[in-house]
Structure 1
Amino acid sequence: MTEDQSAASQDRIAQDQLHFWSFIDHAVAAAAREIPGLNPLSMRLVLTLHRAANMLVYDLESSVHRPRGLSWGGFRVLFVIWLAGPTEARKAAELSGMSRAAVSALVNTLERDGLVTKERAAYDGRAVVLGLSDQGREVIKDAFTAHNTRESEWAQALSEDDQETLIALLEKLTTHSAHFDARHRT
């Protein structure tokens, strides 16, 4: 066996041993070897945050929202309209962190399903104001009740003090983003 074949064999073995969380350690070490001068701590922070958020969203969508006939995006739009009240479509996009195009497509489905209403704004005939139908209000209240129960299950891993600390740290991280012109949906 040549040296290249041996290395390839070891890479396959290593890949077989990787999983969703261990890949972070592997990625940080491999990237640091490939590109000297990287900041491995910030890489680990962002990879961990991203994977944790994706894992949480996937769990909420698959265990709470899909069984109720909602997508994650559909839930987010209903949630915004429910708590903000009748809302312009562009504002619903901003508050949900989605593009206007995504919200427009979701609203068409939610309207077809009888959950959302659309009306032209009296002050601007081009603006569309989104509201909840009675059925939409019941659907979002049911979905959010189950959603919050699942949130609570996730949060039980941390004490209340830990939860408050994590919230403060995430707020600090997002507030700091204004200092380097971070991009986000508006």
Structure 2
Amino acid sequence: MPTSPDPVPEGFLSFAETALDRTGERLPGTDRSAMAMVLLLHRVASAIVYDLESTVHRPAGWSWSAFRLLFTLWVSGPQEAARCAELAGMSRAAVSSLAKTLEAAGLVERADDPRDRRTVVLGLTASGAARLQETFGVHNKREADWAGLLTADELATLNGLLAKLAAAAQEQDWIRRR
């Protein structure tokens, strides 16, 4: 019969410290610093995404994925669906399904590629671009709220470290990417 579990801190983010401690106790060879980096990065990113989705994107009538695809098209201009998937960090199937929904909403248009009629090119409609720009203002204000939790020096350091990890991830052949 299982015994009563040890108390675990309340909350998604505070769980990380307990996870680090207990994993170290149960698996003594664990690289705590590496585990902390991945666990905390994932948990903070998840908290930020949830916050942005619930306070900005859902009120705009979108999911986080829809925002990512719209933002990708806004930044890059019309793109083949496969390239959109790569740039947005989504699967081709997800982009295809989402593009149909966004097309029905009048935000995205789909066209055959003149060089290869089997290839679909996605682009924002004028309405999609206008809605993205309007929503991005609210999104960026919320980003600034999160960034405001750090000093200017801390933010610059964090951005530099994240850029370093992102660049390294592009160069490593052992890292799987979409």
Tell me what 1:94 maps to. Answer: 86
| Conserved 8 A contact 2:71-2:132 | yes
Give RMSD over aligned pairs: 1.6
TM-score in terms of structure 1 length: 0.89
Matching of residue 184 in structure 1 with residue 177 in structure 2: yes
In the aligned structure 2, how far is the partner of 1:21 from the partner of 1:69?
A: 27
2:113 to 121, 128, 138: 121
**1:180 Cα deviation (Å)?**
5.6
For 2:92, the aligned partner's letter is R
Q: CA offsets, 1:25-45, max 9 Å, x none?
A: 111121122222110111111
Structure 1 stretches of 4+ with a deviation exceeding 4 A read: none
Matching of residue 84 in structure 1 with residue 76 in structure 2: yes
Identity %: 45
For 2:97, the aligned partner's letter is A
For 2:161, the aligned partner's letter is L
Q: Report 1:104-119 matches (<5 A).
A: 104-119=96-111
**1:129 Cα deviation (Å)?**
0.8
For 1:79, the aligned partner's letter is F
Equivalences, count: 177
Q: CA offsets, 1:128-175, max 9 Å, x none?
A: 111111211111111111101111111111222221211111122233
Gaps in structure 1 of 5+ consecutive residues = none
